[in-house]
Amino acid sequence: MTSTMDLLSSNGRTTTGRIAGRTILLALLAAPTALAAQSDENAVVAVVDAYHSALASGDSTTALSLLAEDVTILETGGVEDKEHYRSGHLAGDMRFAQAVPRERSEITVTVSGDVAWAWSTSTTQGRMGDREVNSRGAELMVLSRAGDAWRIRAIHWSSRAVR
Amino acid sequence: MSSVVTEIISLGAALKRGAALGAVALVVGCTAPAADLPAEGVNSSVQDPELLAAILEDVRVGWERGDGAPFHEHFLNWEGARYFEGGGQNTGLDDLVVNHVEPEAELGLTLNFTNIQAHFEGDFAWAVVDTEIRLTMPDGRAIHNRGHGTYLFRWVGDAWKVVHTQSASSAVG
């Protein structure tokens, strides 16, 4: 399936008088779609950022509110649902986020209707208790639209030590 | 922030050829280059965990044999494709097959996927699997890891296609 945006991208770079009218029409038709897509993308990034901000500030209520009830969380140790995460790794994740600085790459978002996924990479360097931390990581989140809001349905964190 | 491409279509050249409006530049939307795959309607019958499990089995065998064919069959080879393992990543399908799948198979890789948990949301799906990996490094060191993988799928045409993967494992014991 070719989207209107795809057509615009290919035509827009080789505009001629013959196709100018068509291009203008396509542009006008596509603009609202493109703006909506950008709005979705920004909304997804905002949720991801809000989640990390909540962890870093120790705000478990906000962090949990951004997770869907059926969320699946993968990190070192296993697969957790929301209840297990609440009573398990959440507190440790907040302590870690507060103790060890993390530098994150851009978040890349792909929106597919009412679902989106967002990935980023990061470097984490610092000290957690008596443990030196120096690692590179990747984060994947799957989000879906619930009414007007996006909620996190799945998280996968992985990392490896920098040697 | 996410990457954003602002597509600017200059119509000046065309308008010089006789259009009446004068020089115009249209800023047509702002979207991420790899984003916004068009959603497709799907019949709920395709939301079958067995379909995903069959793909994962093909991919698992492809890993063990160093065979790129199942990857080319089941992965959507698109511009934004990324495949993460641990903290590293492969960019695009060829990078994954040539620089990851083929070399690991040469180390005698055995790979198991168990406990596949499938989730469906319209024409999108994701599967979480437990993984177990064994191989022998060139220096003779035996690797035995367990971990997890997340596979994202889109329904494209008449099949589920893998659009993104992330996996990680750590040593057993």
Is A34 within 8 Å of B32 when comparing Cβ atoms? no
Low-confidence spans in chain A with pLDDT less than 50: 1-19
**Chain B residue closest to A11 (CA)?**
B9
pLDDT of residue B79: 86
pLDDT of residue B173: 77
* A134 inside 8 A of chain B by CB: no
The C-alpha of A113 sits at a distance from chain B's nearest C-alpha, in angstroms, of 5
CA–CA distances in Å: residue A71 to residues A65, A74, A128, A154, B12: 11, 10, 27, 5, 51
Q: Is A19 within a domain? A: no
> Cβ(B23)–Cβ(A15) under 8 Å?
no
Cα of B143 vs its chain's centroid, Å: 25
> Cβ(A77)–Cβ(B148) under 8 Å?
no
Q: Is A26 within a domain? A: no
* B78 inside 8 A of chain A by CB: no
**Chain A residue closest to B34 (CA)?**
A110
**What DSSP element (H or E) covers B145?**
strand B142-156
CB pairs under 8 A between A and B: 179
pLDDT of residue B14: 32
Q: Is A9 within a domain? A: no
pLDDT of residue A22: 56
HSE-CB of A104 using CA atoms within 13 angstroms: 19
Q: Which domain holds residue B99?
A: 44-171
Is A17 within 8 Å of B19 when comparing Cβ atoms? yes
pLDDT of residue B58: 98
* B19 inside 8 A of chain A by CB: yes
Same domain flag for B74 and B151: yes
pLDDT of residue B39: 57
Same domain flag for B3 and B51: no
pLDDT of residue A14: 26
Q: Is A115 within a domain? A: yes
Phi, psi of A34 (to 5 degrees): -65, -40
- The DSSP letter of residue B46 is G
A135 contact residues in B (CB cutoff 8 A): 87
Spell out the residues 6+ positions from residue A43 whose beta carbon is closer than 8 angstroms to its own. Answer: A150
Is A79 within 8 Å of B148 when comparing Cβ atoms? yes
Structural domain total, chain A: 1
* A29 inside 8 A of chain B by CB: no
pLDDT tens track for B57-68:
999 999 999 999
Q: Which domain holds residue A66?
A: 38-161
Is B18 within 8 Å of A17 when comparing Cβ atoms? yes
Same domain flag for B109 and B154: yes
Same domain flag for B11 and B48: no
Is B35 within 8 Å of A37 when comparing Cβ atoms? yes
Q: Is A31 within a domain? A: no
CA–CA distances in Å: residue B29 to residues A27, A156, A162, B7, B103: 9, 31, 40, 7, 42
pLDDT of residue B134: 97
Interaxial angle between packed helices A17-56 and A4-12, expressed in degrees from 0 to 180 and rounded to the nearest 10: 120
**Which residue in this structure is represented by tokens 């939301």?**
B47
pLDDT tens track for B75-120:
998 888 999 987 689 999 999 999 999 999 999 999 999 999 999 9
Distance CA B65, CA B6 (A): 43
Same domain flag for B123 and B164: yes
Same domain flag for B105 and B165: yes
Is B123 within 8 Å of A112 when comparing Cβ atoms? yes
Same domain flag for B136 and B105: yes
Q: Is A16 within a domain? A: no
* A144 inside 8 A of chain B by CB: yes
Same domain flag for B52 and B69: yes
Same domain flag for B49 and B22: no
Same domain flag for B86 and B159: yes
Please give the average per-residue pLDDT across B6-23, as a whole number.
31
Same domain flag for B65 and B23: no
The CATH number of the domain holding residue B142 is 3.10.450.50
Structural domain total, chain B: 2
The CATH number of the domain holding residue A86 is 3.10.450.50
Q: Is A50 within a domain? A: yes
3-state secondary structure A13-39: CCCCHHHHHHHHHHHHHHHHHHHHHHH
Same domain flag for B30 and B57: no
Amino acid, res. A12: G
Is A72 within 8 Å of B2 when comparing Cβ atoms? no
